[in-house]
Amino acid sequence: MAAKLVLGKGLAALIADKAIEIEDRQSTSSPTEVTERRFRNIQTGEVGTIGLLPIAQISPNPFQPRMDFEPEALQELKESIMQKGIVQPITVRRKPDGNGYELISGERRLRAAADAGFTEIPAYVLDVKTNRDMIEIALIENIQRKNLNPIEVALGYQRLADECGLTQEEIAQRVNKDRTTVTNFIRLLKLPREIQESIRTETVSMGHARALLGVEDPEIQLELWRRIIEQQLSVRRVEELANKINRQKKKNSRKKESKSASEKLLDIAEVENTLRNKLSTKVKVRHSKKGSGEIVIEYYSADDLERILEAITNPNAQG
């Protein structure tokens, strides 16, 4: 759909400025009357038009990316609407069956207007036919408004990838961000659930989250996360601890590899000693790094060779 070309600039880019007529002069009219005067004379109900729609005919957005609606913020918006009316239209699409409308963006305004006693709300009707386009516009518009917490943004990006089939590069183009920014947000979803919840509630910052992602072990991530909360650690301090943990992990890994190599050498020496005792002659085991090798058995005469052969073929023979 053509709308995708301008979504990176926000949903406002889809709506012509001339379609919105807002009267800024002083008025003694009620907020409802002010809202009606602003939008009543504008054609509504058809795609590409803006005007007042009955709130009862507008269904919630089934693809809403926002999970948290703070009661305090909704109350403030309600009070603002009661004092000044509704200035900015919500965006909707016609339902596929033609019965009513489906919200695209503006759920906070819709909820606040309903709570304030409004029965109608200014709305811009977009031409959005497929659920895929609906998901994409809803996610991008919410992300562009910067009113989502980091986890909601991350989930939004992930849904654009999973449900809309977009690559991280394409997502970055849609939301007008760097690809690394999109990648860093999606990586948040790899953190344990408890840490994601803290990011969502802003108990820990994005900086802390990125530092925690520098550690691969989820248990260590949780341990560091608890220290962040209990000791109020700075982002720099968490980065230092993460680097220290990674250095220690590499050191322990090298020690383990060295110990493993020594154990292999010890096993080979034991094999040589066992064969030497069994065959009563010098035995050399040559073992390569690939795991293959050879066994060299020395003998000093034809009789000695026959004795060794007897020892090998007859387990009960005495050396």
Residue 136, pLDDT score? 78
Q: CA-CA distance, 260 to 295, in Å (whole number)? A: 22
pLDDT beyond 70 at 128 = yes
User: 204 or 164: which carries more pLDDT confidence?
Assistant: 204
* Tens-place pLDDT, residues 82-122: 887 777 888 888 887 778 888 888 888 888 888 888 888 88
Residue 135, pLDDT score? 77
Q: Contact, 77 vs 69, CB < 8 A? A: no
pTM for this entry: 0.56
Q: CA-CA distance, 182 to 89, in Å (whole number)? A: 29
Tokens (6 digits) for 138:
């809803």
Which domains, from first to last, does the chain contain? 2-148 (3.90.1530.10)
Residue 212: band (very low, low, confident or very high) from pLDDT cuts 50, 70, 90? very high
pLDDT beyond 80 at 265 = no
C-alpha Rg value of the chain to the nearest Å: 35
Residue 263, pLDDT score? 53
What average pLDDT score do residues 143-163 get? Answer: 81
- What is the rounded average pLDDT for all residues in the chain? 78
Tokens (6 digits) for 165:
């089939």
* Tens-place pLDDT, residues 2-34: 344 344 444 454 444 434 343 343 444 555 654
* Catalytic residue check, 294: no
Tokens (6 digits) for 89:
């239209």
What average pLDDT score do residues 41-61 get? Answer: 73
Residue among 36, 107, 136, 152 flagged as catalytic? 107
Residue 141: band (very low, low, confident or very high) from pLDDT cuts 50, 70, 90? confident
Q: Contact, 107 vs 142, CB < 8 A? A: no
Q: CA-CA distance, 274 to 143, in Å (whole number)? A: 71
Residue 51, pLDDT score? 78
Residue 49: band (very low, low, confident or very high) from pLDDT cuts 50, 70, 90? low
Q: Tell me the one-letter amino acid at 99.
A: N
